[in-house]
Structures are given as C-alpha cells and as structure tokens.
A and B are shown apart, each in its own frame.
Chain A
Amino acid sequence: MNVPIEYFVLLSMALFSIGLFGILTRRNALMFLMSVEIMVNAANINLIAFALYHGNLTGQVFALFVMALAAAEVAIGLGIILVLYRNFRDVDVTVPTTMRW
C-alpha cells in the first residue's frame, strides 16, 4: 500500500485551513487552543509524510519533539485560560483588550 504524497499534503492543508478558520472566527479561548493544536498537527503530518517520502527519519523525530512541545503549550495555554477566566469571568478572547496602548 503506497499512498501518494499529494494526499498527505492535501490532508495537512485541509487541517491547517480548518485550524486557521477556527482562530479567525472563534471567540472562545478553548476553541482557540484547539484550533492551534489542529494547526500544529497539520504541520506534524507534513513532517512525517515528507520523512517517509524521502526515507529519512529526521522528520519523524522532529514530529515527536513537536508533540512534546504541543503538550507543553496546552498546559501553558490552559493555565492562561484559567487566569483569564478568573480575572474576567469569561473566556472570550475579545474581552481582555486592556493591555493595548
């Protein structure tokens, strides 16, 4: 079984676009975090697909690192969201705009 590289790229592109769409349209911080995770995984798929395509393991190793990083990011992100909720009684990202100019 040999799936052509184009399908992987298409899948990755679709996931990335879904994540981007989520970031641009959602106001809920949790949705934001999920969208970011989807985009990170789109990149992961690309890394693994091209590693397979080139017969080179570096991409897969890199994907592992990205997953660890994503886990850390989720931890921090959830923490931020908790603080956000504590301060504003809300997780809407358009509410905390007080720190601009």
Chain B
Amino acid sequence: MEGLFDYAPAIALFPLAAFVIALAFGPKLPKKGAIPGIVATGGSLLLSLVMLAAVAGGEEGYYHETLFTWAAGDAAGEVGEGIEFTFGILIDPLAALMLVIVSLIAFLVHVFSLEYMNAEGETGLPRYYAGLGLFTFSMLAFVYADNLLMAFMFFELVGLCSFLLIGFWFRTRSAPSAAKKAFLVTRFGDYFFLIGVVAIAATFGTLQFAGDDSFVAAAETAIDDGGQLFGFDAETWVTITGLLVLGGVIGKSAQFPLHTWLPDAMEGPTTVSALIHAATMVAAGVYLVARMFGYYALSPTALAIIAFVGGFTALFAATMGVVKDDIKQVLAYSTISQYGYMMLGLGVGGYVAGVFHLMNHAFFKALLFLGAGAVIILMHHEQDMWKMGGLKNKAPVTYYTFLAGALALAGIIPFSGFWSKDEILYDALIVGTEQPLIMAAYAMGLLAVFFTGFYTFRMVFLTFHGEPRSDVAEDPHPVGWAVKFPLIALGVLAVVAGIANLAPVAKLTGLEIEFLNEWLSGGAEGTTYAAYTDALAAVYDTGYIGTESTTVLIAAGLSLLLAFSGAGLAWKLYNVPEPVAHKERLGSVRETIESNYYQDEYQVWLAEGLTLPLARAADRFDQTVIDGTVNGVSSVSLFGSDRVKRVQTGIVTNYAALIVTGFIALVIVLGVLGGWFL
C-alpha cells in the first residue's frame, strides 16, 4: 500500500504533459488537444482516488516526502538555524480529498469542453486546452505542496493560468481587460502573501506545513515560551504573519474587498468559469486557510477577522447577485458569497464544516456553471436571463441537473449544500453565543441564506420556467452526451454529497455518521482535526441555546426557514408565465446594488486618484534627484576627461617637452626639499 505513494507526483505531472502536448502538437490533433487533456485529468483522477484509498488504508494515514532541495542555508538541518527551500509532497486526508475534487472537476470540464468549445468551431483551441492543462497542473501541485513557498509558487501559477484563460477571447474588448483585472487584483493580495511567506521563513526558519519542524509547531512553541518575536509578543507576530498570508487568500478567494475581479472573470469561457470557481483558483484561497489552519488556530484575532470577513462577504455578495440579469453574473456573485461561508466556517473554528462546504460547493458550483454553459449552448450564446424562459421541457436533463445544483446552492434540505452550510452556521452560532463579533458574522451569514435562496430561484425560474421570451428560447440548440454526462455526474454528487457529514442528524440521533469528521481526524500530527480542536479550545468558548439538540434544531430551522422564504419569494415573483422585472421597486437601493456598491469605482479612484499621483511623484524624484546625481557624476567626469585628453596632441615633441618639464620640476622640488639652494 505504501509503495503506491511513489506515484503521487504523477497526479500533477499528467496535466503538465497534456499542457505540453496540446501546446506542441495541438493543431495537428483530431480534437485540438482535448483528448490528451481528458486522458491526463482522467489519469489524475484515478491516481487521486488511489491516493485516497492509500491514505485511508495506510498505517500512518498520510504521506510526506521531500522530493527536491533547491536551496539550503549554511546551517540547514539544524532545527531553527538554516532555511531549506524544498519541493515536497504532503498527502494527508485533506490534500487527498482536495486532489480528488480538483481532478474530478477538471476531468468533467475537459469532457464538457468537447461540446462547448470544439463543437462551436472556436479558434485557438490548442491554447485553450494547454491553459486548462497548466491550470490543473498548478492547482494539483498547490494542493499537495508540503511547504508554504512551494504553495506560493503554484498559487502564483494558478493566477497566471486564470489570466490566460479569462483572456481566452483576447480579440474582444472586455476579455483582456477582465483578465488583467483578475491578474492585478489577485496579485495585490499575493503581494501580502509573499511578505507573509518571507516573514514566516525569517521567523521560524522553516516553511513546512506538517511535522515536528513545521512553522506551525515552531509558532506554537514560541507562543508557549512567551518570548518576543521582532519586538512583538509571539502571538501578535503570529497574527500579523497570518494576516499577511490571508491577503493572498482574500485576493484569490475573492473576499471583500478584493472580490471585484471575479464577476468580470465571467468574460472567459463558461467551462473556465466552472473550473476557476469550483475547483482551482478561487478554491485555492480557502484551501490554503484549511492547509495552515493550525497556524490560524493559534491566533484568535486572525480567526475572528477571517470569520467576520467571510460573513460580511457572504451577505454582501448575495445582495449583489439579486439584481443581475446575466446568468453567469448571478453565479459569479453566488461564488463569492459561498466562499464567504467557507471563510466564516473556518474562522469560527469549523474546520470540518469549511472543508465540507468547499467540497459540496465544488460539486454544485461546477454543476451550475456547466449547466449555465449548457443553457448558453441551448440559447446560441445568449446569457441574458430575460431572453430565456421555458427551457424546462425542451432540455429536461439540463433542467433537472441545474435544479439539483440550485437546491444545493440555496441550502434546501436534503441537498448537499444544506448540510455543509448548516454546519457552518451552527458552528458560528455556538461560538457567537459567547462572542458578539462572531454573532454579527453569524447574523450576516444567516441573512445571506435568504438572498441566496432568492437569487438562485430567480435564476432557475427566469431561465427554465414560464413562456419562452425570445426566438432562440422557442427553438433551442440541442446538447449532446459530452454536456449531459458531466451534468449528470455532478448532479448526482450535488444531491448525495451531503451524506459525507450529516452532522445535525448525528447530533440529534447519536449515530456515528460524521464520515468527513473522522476522515479529517487522521493525518500528520498537528494537522489533524483533533489537534485543531485542542488548539481552538483555548480560543473560543462555545455555548448552546438550551441543549445541544435545541441549538442544532434552531440553527437548522432558521437557515431552512430563510432559504425557503427566499426561494418562496422568488417563486411568487418569477414563477409566472410572463415574469416582469421587480427591480424598480427597490428604488434608490437598486442603483447602489446594480453598481455593485461602487466597489469598482472606489478602487479605480484609489488607483487613479491616489496611487497614480504618488507614482508620478516617485517617478519625478527618481528622474530628478536619483538620476540627477548619477547623471551629474557622469557628466562631471565626461567634461573633465574631455579637457584632460587634449594634453595628448599626438605630436611627439610635446610629449618630450612635457617629460623634460616634468623632470626639471621634479628636480627643482627635490632640490628645494633637500636644501640644495640654501
């Protein structure tokens, strides 16, 4: 069993090979690179499943191996002395789970692309499949990275791939601009991440995630010793470095205030959106928090900030999703909102809940995006929901799978999204009873459930119900097996994935059915759920309203009630043969929400009104003072040498005269000093 882990690097290397093949031979291949991509991601999926089984069946329950050391400090090897930069693989239960999710989604997206991209006769398909391959490679390597630096490098590569794929239709005006925006906004967050990596490396001398020489263990020791780090309390310093790393997470996972890139990223192909939102780019941020959860668990402040940002983003994005007319825009805001939930879950210490929602969200959001892709095929590339309607009977497979995804997203029992979202809200509630700030985050998360239910079913009703509102909706383009197969596979998962952790049922009935909980309890020492629970016991007090059972019921009941009322309101307003827009009734609020709370405007102002003048001033300082000094030195020496070189006339007589004059002068000087003339 243990020998199987030797094949672990291949999980990421398969898509890399597909990338190379698509890039080199893509134009000559029958499907322009789709086949190698499908084979490679399929291989990765199989290997990931093997790893999952190996982790489950192995003695240790995890695999940690350093593959390559590319730089080592002088005193490397002595703990806390020299720093070693390595590439290594860490496959513990969390990583194994994520590997399966990522490779599964990537595989299905590749299959879906056969119809979404190839059948449409797109140009540049080899570039598209090469991008997908590199994207999958980066994400898989990021997932099983065993240290923070390697994680950072692949994190950056993920960002690069998103840039390449969002800007796939680079001949349009909007796609390159959206790609640039995604790249720059996430890079702004990654800047803090990089500083965080350097700070952690400089402080603890190690960047390993797991094991005795991990920075998590080092930080724990430092806090226990009660010493000072860089002039701060150890705990304050851990908070600072943790928050720096969190900057990258907020950028990638599109949390407030760096969420603005994500809706614009809808300019890319829908398949790419599915990959970005469900499994790769956006998931990378939350996965990183889960990966180094032990580190955050040491700092109550960082956790509270994560929880609050998450709760706020969940509500904030959900309200914006309510007024969007483009089917992909609605899904984009729902993604931001759902990742807000995951952050909330992780922030309140609900490690299992956060990871659970990450998994469920990957399934149902990939399903919804691929469903939206199918709708876009049906509608001949029309994305405005007001031009759809009545697709229910004409495309039953798309409808029912999309509906399953929508029910999961809205958090309707018993679909997968309900179980994980409810667990997050439950975890937030029990902590919130003791801490007002977390209570506020919980309240925002709870309120967001209502909006989620509303915009999800507004989308479903406008798209599939009622009478067709355009000619293409009357006569949709048929979809083939390459669309239906991924939809059905994901549809089934979106319905049943909740079984992985039926926490409320377990708490009420006492049955031992919290499989994910048990699964995440394994792994390397210090990265297990049990270790996190111990660490969190010092951070958060939990309280119940009445007993545990009543709290569970209250939490689940509240979120279900809100989800149903949101969905019900959508039902009432939009499930009619000829729905009309109700946005006008919102009055002045509508304008604010439709402008996305002027987030883009103020960020553009920050860039143009603040950063640009500052950069100009810095440029002027550089051009005048710095360059002036350097140029001054060089002109002085140029001018001086121009004068001095005239001594060289090229006439031998002059040289002889100079020599003689010099000699005479020397003799006179020596004579005067020697006192010959006295």
Q: B650 contacts A23, CB within 8 Å?
A: no
Q: B650 contacts A99, CB within 8 Å?
A: yes
Closest to B650 in A: A97
Does A2 make an interface contact (CB < 8 A)?
no
Does B582 make an interface contact (CB < 8 A)?
no
Given contacts A23-B656, A24-B656, A94 and B645 within 8 Å (CB-CB): no
Q: Which chain A residues border B653 with CB–CB below 8 Å?
A: 23-25, 27, 93-94
Q: A97 contacts B645, CB within 8 Å?
A: no
Question: How many whole Å from B664's CB to the nearest CB in chain A?
Answer: 11
Give complex CA distance A6, B67 in Å.
Answer: 91
Interface of A, secondary structure class, is: loop
Give complex CA distance A98, B657 in Å.
Answer: 20
Q: A93 contacts B656, CB within 8 Å?
A: no
Does B636 make an interface contact (CB < 8 A)?
no
Give complex CA distance A24, B664 in Å.
Answer: 15
Give complex CA distance A20, B664 in Å.
Answer: 13
Q: Which chain A residues border B651 with CB–CB below 8 Å?
A: 93-94, 97
Does A96 make an interface contact (CB < 8 A)?
yes
Q: Which chain B residues border A25 with CB–CB below 8 Å?
A: 653
Q: Which chain B residues border A99 with CB–CB below 8 Å?
A: 650
Does A101 make an interface contact (CB < 8 A)?
yes
Given contacts A24-B657, A24-B660, A101-B645, A32 and B650 within 8 Å (CB-CB): no
Q: A97 contacts B649, CB within 8 Å?
A: yes
Does B509 make an interface contact (CB < 8 A)?
no
Closest to A92 in B: B651
Question: How many whole Å from B291's CB to the nearest CB in chain A?
Answer: 66
Closest to A36 in B: B656
Give complex CA distance A10, B230 in Å.
Answer: 83
Does A54 make an interface contact (CB < 8 A)?
no
Residues of chain B at interface, number, CB under 8 A:
10
Does A100 make an interface contact (CB < 8 A)?
yes
Residues of chain A at interface, number, CB under 8 A:
14
Query: What 1/0 mask marks residues of chain A from 7 to 32 whose CB sits below 8 Å from any chain B CB?
Result: 00000000000001001110100001
Give complex CA distance A27, B660 in Å.
Answer: 17
Q: A20 contacts B650, CB within 8 Å?
A: no
Give complex CA distance A94, B657 in Å.
Answer: 14
Does B547 make an interface contact (CB < 8 A)?
no
Does B648 make an interface contact (CB < 8 A)?
yes
Query: What 1/0 mask marks residues of chain B from 637 to 678 whose CB sits below 8 Å from any chain A CB?
Result: 000000001001111110011001000000000000000000
Q: A100 contacts B652, CB within 8 Å?
A: no
Closest to B655 in A: A23
Q: Which of B648, B657, B660 contacts A100 (CB 8 A)?
A: B648
Q: A96 contacts B650, CB within 8 Å?
A: yes
Q: A101 contacts B660, CB within 8 Å?
A: no
Give complex CA distance A96, B653 in Å.
Answer: 12
Closest to A96 in B: B650
Q: B660 contacts A20, CB within 8 Å?
A: yes
Q: Which of B650, B652, B660 contacts A98 (CB 8 A)?
A: B650
Q: Which chain A residues border B648 with CB–CB below 8 Å?
A: 100-101
Q: Which chain A residues border B649 with CB–CB below 8 Å?
A: 97, 100
Give complex CA distance A90, B350 in Å.
Answer: 100
Question: How many whole Å from A87's CB to the nearest CB in chain B?
Answer: 14
Q: Which of A20, A93, A100 is most buried by chain B, counting CB atoms within 10 A of its CB?
A: A100
Give complex CA distance A24, B657 in Å.
Answer: 6
Closest to A27 in B: B653
Query: What 1/0 mask marks residues of chain A from 59 to 100 whose CB sits below 8 Å from any chain B CB?
Result: 000000000000000000000000000000000011011111
Question: How many whole Å from B292's CB to the nearest CB in chain A?
Answer: 65
Give complex CA distance A61, B651 in Å.
Answer: 35
Q: Which chain B residues border A101 with CB–CB below 8 Å?
A: 645, 648
Give complex CA distance A24, B653 in Å.
Answer: 5
Question: How many whole Å from B638's CB to the nearest CB in chain A?
Answer: 13
Closest to B646 in A: A101
Question: How many whole Å from A18's CB to the nearest CB in chain B?
Answer: 14
Q: Which chain B residues border A23 with CB–CB below 8 Å?
A: 653, 656
Question: How many whole Å from B367's CB to the nearest CB in chain A?
Answer: 78
Question: How many whole Å from A17's CB to the nearest CB in chain B?
Answer: 11
Question: How many whole Å from A24's CB to the nearest CB in chain B?
Answer: 6
Give complex CA distance A66, B283 in Å.
Answer: 91
Question: How many whole Å from A94's CB to the nearest CB in chain B?
Answer: 5
Q: Which chain B residues border A94 with CB–CB below 8 Å?
A: 651, 653
Q: B660 contacts A93, CB within 8 Å?
A: no
Q: Which chain B residues border A98 with CB–CB below 8 Å?
A: 650
Give complex CA distance A25, B657 in Å.
Answer: 10
Q: Which chain B residues border A32 with CB–CB below 8 Å?
A: 652
Beyond A98-B650, A100-B649, 17 additional contacts (C-beta under 8 Å) are A20-B656, A23-B656, A24-B656, A24-B657, A24-B660, A25-B653, A27-B653, A32-B652, A93-B651, A93-B652, A94-B651, A94-B653, A96-B650, A97-B650, A99-B650, A100-B648, A101-B645
The 5 A-B pairs of least Cβ separation, nearest first, read: A97-B650, A100-B650, A101-B645, A100-B648, A94-B651
Q: List 6 A-B contacts (CB under 8 A).
A: A93-B652, A96-B650, A100-B648, A100-B649, A100-B650, A101-B648
Q: Which residues of chain A have a CB within 8 Å of any CB of chain B?
A: 20, 23-25, 27, 32, 93-94, 96-101
